[in-house]
Amino acid sequence: MSPRIVPAGTDAVRRRATPLTITVDGVPVPGTAGQTVAGVLLADGRRSWRSGPSGEPRGVFCGIGVCFDCLVTVNGERDVRACRRRACDGDEITTQSREPGEER
């Protein structure tokens, strides 16, 4: 199973998706209305978007909001779980890290 968005011309189900665009660290990323922030990031080919205390990359782990590996800043609000937050057109996403020395 691929996390990529299926192009409308090859979609056997013939979905009528509403496109949206979020900005991730200043880069526009396309998505579809109804996707979570994590879903948009995964469809864009990103597997990690923050660093843990050890510096190791983190992304989606559980995908249901139980862990805190997918944290991002959304429109200035820190520590938002990307797997739980629906993406909205125009959202400004900033990646985070928990490396030693970073302010919370």
The whole model's pTM is what?
A: 0.80
Q: How far apart are CA 33 and CA 31, in angstroms?
A: 7
pLDDT of residue 13: 75
Whichever domain contains 74, its CATH number is 3.10.20.440
Residues with Cβ within 8 Å of residue 78, at least 6 apart in sequence: 71, 96, 104
Q: Is residue 23 part of a domain?
A: yes
Q: Is residue 9 part of a domain?
A: no
pLDDT of residue 35: 93
Domain count of the fold of the chain? 1
Q: Is residue 54 part of a domain?
A: yes
pLDDT of residue 1: 44
The residue length of the chain stands at 104
pLDDT of residue 52: 81
DSSP-derived letter for residue 83 is: T
pLDDT of residue 103: 55
| Residue ranges of the chain with per-residue pLDDT less than 70 | 1-5, 8, 99-104
pLDDT of residue 4: 64
